[in-house]
Amino acid sequence: MTLLLLQLGTVTVLSKYIITNIRPIVRHVLKMFSSKLQELIKLSGIFPVLKPAGLTSAQLLNRIREKLYSEVGITMKYARKLALGHGGTLDKLATGVLVVGVGAGCKQLSQFLHGDKKYICTAELGTATDTFDCGGVTTETKNYDHVTKDSLTDCLKHFTGDILQLPPLYSAVKYGGERLSDITRDGRSVPTLQPRQVRVHSIQCTDFSPPFFTLAIHSGGGFYVRRLVDDLGRYLDTRAHVCELERTEQSPFTLMDCLREDEWTLHDIKRAIQLSQDHFHKQMSERYDNVKSL
């Protein structure tokens, strides 16, 4: 009986301790997660991120979802409630600026798909691949000893301005509701593609160290750097493919504006969205002032 009373007394003491000390902590934690969840659900706008190599643009969006939902304490099965999109695919091996939309911000992404972009590309002469980059299978090799920096620079003039460009088979271009890359990888019959008009504002060769060369490119939307490099190789009577590709600007965002992977948090994304809104409001105000001054 004495032992039972002691046990009951211990339970009573523990219960009082839990009520007094632990329950408020649990309540605070639940309230904190609930507050963050509400913030996440209300998240809306656009923000630029720094895409690392090795992730597709779609995989990057999933990575952001995983991080945000982990932060608010819920599992990925609820992630579809958070609408995320991007304003222009970057290849899996590419790095650089990728504009992301969340919530209602997804509706703003079309302007980035068609907007100006800048790239730094390192390519290799003498070898062609099926994907036009170093991640593909070699399809052809050809001598490049005759190629000089002058001949390459002269060649670039033919790929500047409004030009016709055929999308690569390994691309996000849709055919019958499917990506060309999916059709190609499945080994299915690929449709006959038509060249599309794209705009190239400028291309400069910033380094020439055969077999490698580096290009600085300023283009409009819908332009494929991999196709450009493959076309350059053929024009120079050799072959070429992309080794490294970085998007340095997706107007108006530059690398300096981008959130790195360790900054894909609710706090930093909210801050980036606000900065983006401030930037666009300033931009619109400047355009209005310019129109008034005419």
Measure the N-to-C terminal CA separation of the chain; round to a whole number of Å: 97
Strands 240-250 and 95-102: parallel
Catalytic residue check, 91 = yes
Token pair for residue 188? Answer: 């299915």
Q: Distance between CA atoms of 224 and 133, rounded to whole angstroms? A: 12
Task: Point out the catalytic residue in the list 91, 230, 231, 257.
Answer: 91
Task: Report the candidate in 272, 237, 60, 251 with the shortest Cα–Cα distance to residue 144.
Answer: 237
Cis before 48 (ω within 30): no
The phi-psi region of residue 291 (left if phi > 0; otherwise alpha if psi is between -120 and 50; otherwise beta) is alpha
The DSSP bridge pattern shows strands 178-179 and 95-102 to be: unpaired
Structure tokens at 34: 């609930």
Tokens 């980059």 belong to residue: 133
Active site residues: 91
